[in-house]
Amino acid sequence: MNRLSRETSPYLLQHAHNPVDWYPWGDEALQRARAEDKPILVSIGYSACHWCHVMERESFEDPQVAALMNEHFINIKIDREERPDIDQIYMDAVVVMTGQGGWPSTAFFVARRTTFLWRRYFPPLPAHGRNDWTSVLKAIAKAFAEQGPDLERQANALTYHIFAHDKNVLQIEPDAVDNWQNVIKLSNYEQWAKNFDRIDGGFGNAPKFPAAMALQYLLEYAYHTDQADAAQHALFSIDTLSNGGIYDHLGGGFARYTVDKAWHIPHFEKMLYDNALLVGLLSDAYKILTANAAHLGTAGTNDELTEQRTRLYADTLHQTLDWVARDMTSPEGGFYAAYDADSEGEEGKFYTWHKREIDRLLQDDAAIFCAFYGISEDGSWEEGKNILYRRYTEAALSDKIGYDTDELYRLLAQCRRKLFLQREKRPKPLLDNKIILGWNALMNTAYTKAYRATQKTTYLAAAERNMQFLLSQFRHPHNGGLYHNYTNGKAANYALLDDYALLIESLLSLYACLYHARRPK
């Protein structure tokens, strides 16, 4: 048992039994590094991260590897969700060094906190052009012992480079550009448009992230400029996300990203913030389609498509918020942070199906269900495992098999319910029960957007209850400020700028909803 056993973060507690002599971030570790003249190893990840678990199993649980780490380094483990401020500093460094980011991430630095090496996941043996973890540790320890001043100069140069880049960004003078707001809007849209994936939706190639904020931008840009192409790509992307394997068709909610271009194969962790942004996006798209589709150039040209989208968005919105209420809401009304990708030691085991399981459960209805959701003996993933995704709309499959569309819609809903109840008997992925202020504010805003779009009063009630919890449990008792996170009855870490900004946004949105809902008619 190491020092992490005293922490509240589920991610840090996962590493409390490692033979590595882990420290949480703090002065104790930094002071020991100075006293013993050792480099500091910082490992950053989060509880729902599949590759974080892989590196732990391969390296941090190995006594020989741990002994090497303990002998030559002061080892710090950080939950990037608990300390996004620290994570951002070192993620800037890894992007400068390697051109890409991601987790788990590992930094080596001296006690003055200047980084001299940063990389992502290290394998236990050399693979795919990556050095193995043990070799890296030995090389860094040797370099520090023999070339300490050179490493420090390298670290200082990297720090200067990052600060210079930030300074250049901050010194941009918007007043120097005539009509700069319109220029920025247009240039942003043109940049996004260059990267449209017009075949599968979204942007760019695999791996594919939902990019909910970019799609939200396209909707709002289209609304204010009558740019039909922006609206069409946003709606087409929402279609492909809602139909794809990135969406949990049985239990609701979206995975963090997919490893393929067509949204079929998710990396299965579910994050609160992704789902908050996507609920807000679905709510706005649904509201636009039902209230003012003509303004986006989407009505009149294909009323059947608009009707299909309206139903799809409503179903996806309601099912995702059902998942939040069922699996992601604490008894106090807070929203948990994430669900892991793994269960029973396997990625995606909770979510995938063999065709024989579905045949047994659905019997006579299995053939229709399997056709609709792309289920086969060979599987859509690995070793005969299937990930559900919609191959058809209800109308298209109805025409193909001679069913009434509404009858097929009800049949598929009944089949999904049977599979969902069976899936609930499986061991679930690990829940990260940390409650983060900014992420909760995002979901609170999503609930109020969903209320405005659907007028479902339970959404407004959930937002109000959550806000009461946030304002009561996240306040600092002495200085009037706020905390960043809350776990098992304990708030910790001062709130950051985005916590305050997102909370203010959610307060304004909730106030507007409550004002209009309760004012005298």
Instruction: Let me know whether 27 and 145 are in one domain.
Output: yes
Joined together, the tokens standing for residue 199 give 């075949």
Instruction: Let me know whether 47 and 132 are in one domain.
Output: yes
Joined together, the tokens standing for residue 215 give 């799609």
Instruction: Let me know whether 280 and 380 are in one domain.
Output: no
Q: Please, which pLDDT band fits residue 69 given cuts at 50, 70 and 90?
A: very high
Half-sphere exposure of 304 (CA within 13 A, CB side): 5
- Checking if the pLDDT of 234 tops 80, the result is yes
- Checking if the pLDDT of 264 tops 70, the result is yes
What's the predicted TM-score (pTM) here? 0.86
CB 230 within 8 A of CB 221: yes
Q: Indicate whether 449 belongs to any domain.
A: yes
Say which residues have a Cβ less than 8 Å from residue 515's Cβ, sequence separation at least 6.
none
> Quick one: which of 69, 86, 76, 66 has its CA closest to 23?
76
Instruction: Let me know whether 115 and 229 are in one domain.
Output: no
Instruction: Let me know whether 201 and 149 are in one domain.
Output: no
Q: Indicate whether 182 belongs to any domain.
A: no
Range of the domain at 304: 193-327
Q: Indicate whether 485 belongs to any domain.
A: yes
Q: Which of 29-38, 176-185, 479-488 has the lowest mean pLDDT?
A: 176-185
- Phi, psi for 153 (deg, rounded to 5): -65, -40
Q: Indicate whether 181 belongs to any domain.
A: no
In the beta sheet, which residues pair with residue 402?
A: none
Joined together, the tokens standing for residue 126 give 């050399």
Is the model more confident about 175 or about 367? 367
Is the model more confident about 439 or about 98? 439
Instruction: Let me know whether 371 and 479 are in one domain.
Output: no
Q: Please, which pLDDT band fits residue 191 given cuts at 50, 70 and 90?
A: confident
End-to-end Cα separation, the chain, in angstroms? 62
- Checking if the pLDDT of 521 tops 70, the result is no
Q: Indicate whether 187 belongs to any domain.
A: no
In total, how many domains does the chain have?
4
pLDDT of 412-471, one tens digit each?
A: 999 999 999 999 999 999 999 999 999 999 999 999 999 999 999 999 999 999 999 999
Instruction: Let me know whether 53 and 127 are in one domain.
Output: yes
Instruction: Let me know whether 45 and 115 are in one domain.
Output: yes
The DSSP annotation for 11-37 comes to HHHHTTTSSS-EE-SSHHHHHHHHHHT
- Phi, psi for 203 (deg, rounded to 5): -135, 135
Instruction: Let me know whether 442 and 409 are in one domain.
Output: no
CB 270 within 8 A of CB 256: yes
In the beta sheet, which residues pair with residue 22?
A: 75
Instruction: Let me know whether 218 and 316 are in one domain.
Output: yes
| Percent of the chain at pLDDT exceeding 70 | 84
Instruction: Let me know whether 106 and 31 are in one domain.
Output: yes
pLDDT of 153-165, one tens digit each?
A: 665 665 655 555 5
End residue of a domain, out of 425, 447, 477: 425
CB 396 within 8 A of CB 406: no
Q: Indicate whether 185 belongs to any domain.
A: no
Ranges assigned E (strand) in 176-306? 257-258, 266-267, 270-271
Give exposure, 14-43, as e/b (b: 16+ Cβ within 10 Å).
Answer: bbeebbbbbbbbeeebbeebeeeebbbbbb
pLDDT of 458-494, one tens digit each?
A: 999 999 999 999 999 999 988 889 999 999 999 999 9
- Give the pLDDT of residue 142: 85
End residue of a domain, out of 295, 327, 359: 327
With 0-12 CB in 10 A as exposed, 13-18 as middle and 19+ as buried, what is 234?
Answer: buried
Using CA atoms, how far apart are residues 10 and 488, in angstroms rounded to an integer? 10
Is the model more confident about 80 or about 176? 80
Instruction: Let me know whether 144 and 202 are in one domain.
Output: no
End residue of a domain, out of 170, 203, 225: 170
CB 257 within 8 A of CB 246: yes
- Checking if the pLDDT of 118 tops 70, the result is no
- Checking if the pLDDT of 185 tops 60, the result is no
Please compute the mean of the pLDDT values over residues 187-195 and round it to a whole number: 82
- Give the pLDDT of residue 292: 61
HEC string for 472-516: HHCECCCCCCEEEEEECCEEEEECCHHHHHHHHHHHHHHHHHHHH
Q: Indicate whether 410 belongs to any domain.
A: yes
Please compute the mean of the pLDDT values over residues 76-104 and round it to a whole number: 79
Using CA atoms, how far apart are residues 516 and 505, in angstroms rounded to an integer? 17
- Checking if the pLDDT of 113 tops 70, the result is no
- Checking if the pLDDT of 299 tops 50, the result is no
- Give the pLDDT of residue 153: 64
Pairing of the two strands 40-45 and 74-79: parallel
- What CATH number has the domain bearing residue 121? 3.40.30.10
CA distances from 323 to 251, 297, 342 (A): 6, 33, 18
**Average pLDDT of the chain to the nearest whole number:** 87
Q: Indicate whether 179 belongs to any domain.
A: no
- Give the pLDDT of residue 172: 47
- Give the pLDDT of residue 271: 96
Put residue 297 in one of left, alpha, beta given phi > 0 → left and psi -120 to 50 → alpha: left
